[in-house]
Amino acid sequence: MMNQNEVDVLGEIQEYLVVNLADELYAIPGIAVREVMRWQTPTSVPGAPAIMPGLISQRGVIFPVIDLRLMLGLTLTPSTRATRLVLVEHDVTRMALLVDNVVDLVPLTIKSITPPPAALEAQRVRLLAGVTILEGATLAVLNLGALVAALHETL
Amino acid sequence: MLLLEIHIADQCYLAPQTHVDHLSQLLPTMAPEQDARGRPLIYAELGPLLGYQAEEKPDRHHALTVTLRRRTVVLLVDRVDRLTQPEEVHPLPALMRKHLARPWFTGAVIFEQRLLLVLDLQRIATDIALGVV
């Protein structure tokens, strides 16, 4: 049987989907992830901003595709066999996040996530809940609430 | 709702049949210059308005006549294939809808495993008649 301390620690652990964007590692809260899909060319919507390359449907539900790399000001690379669409749902907002690669599902403790470094660009900082270290590499944790808020603002 | 299947370049769109008063296969020499009330018709290629580059002339050229209160607009498309009746027209996601350059889509349809956009031809025709595009 676990003691109270162990129960508290477990309560602080959350799962995150680790993805590659450009050459950087980002973590998406697992609780919001509904599905990971292979890349498929979305239906382009004329007049939509570049950050939204189109729409996809999955099981009868329509998702706008969001190019996270553009949101974060990262380098764009053509889609490959590793490119994935991560279907997420945050509150009532559904979206398909375009990522270069899905790495792993990892547990992180809340305490291990620290505020983003001050040196990071404001464009990125506003979308991050914080950063942590995963196997020696910096892992930036996305704040989906901030992402949705930013997408609702003028792009 | 009955929807027309409209082809522009390599894309397929749908549009409510009720938005269109007249559908014809247009030949350049047969294009009328005036509507039934004697007002000049406004002709517009829909492809370039949706961001497609004009390439080779299509085998067929269809004209969709949209009558507004004061003007009549003829929208030229590559071809119109058939009428379809999908089960449901989904609204575009709010996240995308608010960022569109023009509100020219009433929604999207999942039809024969394809996701197709539904054009608001009356809105497009109105913008053309007003000269905003």
Chain B closest-CA separation from residue A155 CA (Å): 7
Domain A15-152 matching CATH 2.40.50.180: the answer reads yes
Q: What is the CA radius of gyration of chain B?
A: 15
Q: Is the pLDDT of residue A16 over 90?
A: yes
- Residue pLDDT tens, chain B, 133 long: 899 999 998 899 999 999 999 999 876 667 778 887 888 899 999 999 999 886 666 666 899 999 999 899 999 999 999 899 998 999 999 999 999 999 999 999 999 889 999 999 999 999 999 999 9
- Interface probe for A, chosen from B10, B14, B87, B95 (most Cβ of A below 10 Å), is B95
Predicted pLDDT of residue B26? 76
The domain ranges of chain B are 3-130
Q: Which residues of B touch A52 (CB under 8 A)?
A: 95-96, 99
Contacts of A11 (CB under 8 A, 6+ apart): none
* Among candidates A49, A62, A154 on the partner chain, residue whose Cβ is nearest the Cβ of B108: A62
User: What ipTM was estimated for this complex?
Assistant: 0.89
Strand runs labelled E in B1-133: 3-8, 11-16, 22-25, 42-45, 62-67, 72-77, 79-84, 105-111, 114-119
Q: Is the pLDDT of residue A9 over 60?
A: no
The domain ranges of chain A are 15-152
With beta carbons less than 8 A apart as the criterion, state whether B116 and B14 touch.
Answer: yes
